[in-house]
Amino acid sequence: MSLPRADLDSPWKEILRAYFPQAMQFFFPNTADFIDWSRSHEFLDKEFVQIARDGEIGRRYADQLVKVWRKDGEPL
């Protein structure tokens, strides 16, 4: 008999949602410098599901898709 798999992915996604700017600055400081943090960011869950569905093979744990704006006004 196998044990059920622990869901360790969801807590990290919740933390990422709560602390997205801080996470970007910590893990990707060069990229974070290009982001206009005065504008809000948007998590694109439904859009990511549509993208991931086409390439899905078995169960996958997807990361988050987030729309942010560059300092020059373009979406990044």
pTM: 0.70
Structure tokens at 59: 């169960």
What is the tens place of the pLDDT at every residue in 13-69? 899 999 999 999 999 999 999 999 999 999 987 776 666 565 555 555 557 889 999
20 falls within a domain: no
Give the pLDDT score at 7.
77
Give the pLDDT score at 36.
96
- What is the pairing mode between strands 42-43 and 66-67? antiparallel
18 falls within a domain: no
Q: Which of 4-8, 10-14, 72-76 has the lowest mean pLDDT?
A: 4-8
Domain extent for 69: 33-76
5 falls within a domain: no
Q: Is 35 exposed, middle or buried (0-12, 13-18, 19+ CB in 10 A)?
A: buried
71 falls within a domain: yes
In sequence order, the 6+-apart residues with CB closer than 8 A to the CB of 40 are none
The total number of structural domains in the chain stands at 1
Give the pLDDT score at 4.
72
